[in-house]
Amino acid sequence: MSRPKVAKLAIVGCSGYAMELIKRIWMFRGEIELVAAFSPDLTLPEVALCEQRGVRVIDDFDSFIEYIEHRVHAVMNPTPIHRHKEISIRCLQAGLPVWVEKPPVATLHEWDELREAARFYAKPVEVCFNALYLPSVRLVKDRLLQGEFGRMHRIRGVGAWARPRSYFTRSDWAGHLRVDGDWVLDGTINNPLAHLLCNCLYFGGAEAVSMARPVKMSARLWHANDIESEDTSSLRIITDTDVEIVTNMTLCSERMVAPEMTIETEKADIVFRDFQDMDICWHDGKIEAFPSARENRLDMLETLCRSLFEEVMTPCPLECTRPFTEVVNAAFYQVLSRSEGCVPSVHPGALNRFVCTDGPCIGLCGIDQLVLDAYREGAMLDLPCASGESSRLDLELVEELSPHASEGMPT
């Protein structure tokens, strides 16, 4: 990084994922300074670690905002999903740019409110879909828009991870549809594997910094774990750029399938592996490889810090993310409105139990092969529901789904 000033940041939180970001900030010695962190619990070991590194940790949020108002250039907001809008707006009111963790918010109504606040206070909100910050992503998106690969036909995505039961009990919002009346919509499409859906929409977008808007979609959501939201999903989307997107994701796989997406075009298939490495597989047999030089969160931090001092085209400003929230809301609305406000549970006969490195898990029998087969065929998953009813839903116009979702999903 080369610029005349040190980027001074604050972060809301200092444990969990916030600490993962803090560790990466500390890798940019002399280039990024973490000035302050908010933590309601000052007894955490992470607080002591921050204080040892000269970070001021404050346990009252109003005092935190007052302290950072004239001391930092931007605030990172890796808080629970249902807190994203509220905390981001508080930071905007203090005159500070905000880098909010993905997803931007839970609902379209919240998205509209946050965008309006960003416009009113004239400060940028960037969304930390970190995979989009890889140099190779921008390069390939530009080449797609220039028509080098011919017409884009379809984008396929897959990911299968294991998450232990403790993952869903680690907080009051994990695995939930809502908390204290606020929508969360936790699950594969809106949290751990949200990058996959985001990447598909981004590469399908008609402009350099844009996501394709959903026109029609069909959603299938299930849960194997004892949660109210989903841990397994299957989406089919037809976009305004006339591209079909199909994703299949789960958190219930004994064998991990690293996230992967394939962009099918007239002249080549472009494969993006594990949110890091990309290959262009030309139909004439030539392969262009784009291995990532470093972890994408480091690219994200560097790009966002540069944007504080110079004109930089960031890949994921809030303004381009509405299609993502539109898809999430339409998917949940489509499923919940047809299942009495509940995400369908998978039939008990399809479940298995295993232990992963993080503890006991509830899994789906053979789900790793099922998602891989669906990925290769560009097909949707079809899992048995405990109710005995089919989870299949036809393609529906998103404009008939998301307006209802923005007003509030069925309960």
End-to-end CA distance of the chain: 49
Q: Give which of 323, 330, 153, 325 is closest to 235, Cα–Cα.
A: 330
DSSP for residue 355: E
pLDDT at 395: 74
Confidence band (pLDDT; 50, 70, 90) for 98? very high
What pLDDT is recorded for position 406?
A: 46
What pLDDT is attached to residue 5? 85
Q: Write the DSSP string, 335-370.
A: HHTTTTTSPPBBPGGGEEEEEETTEEEEEETTHHHH
7-130 maps to CATH 3.20.20.80: no
Residues 35-61 pLDDT 10s: 999 999 999 999 999 999 999 999 999
Q: Which residues contact 116 (CB under 8 A, 6 or more apart)?
A: none
Would you list the domain boundaries of the chain?
7-130, 132-296+319-407
Helix residue spans in 216-321 (DSSP H): 296-306
Whole-prediction pTM: 0.95
Q: What percent of the chain has pLDDT over 90?
A: 91
The CATH number assigned to the domain with range 132-296+319-407 reads 3.30.360.10
Least confident of 68-82, 302-316, 389-403: 389-403
Compute the average pLDDT of residues 146-155.
Answer: 98
Neighbours of 180 (CB within 10 A): 8
Strand partners, 217: 237, 396
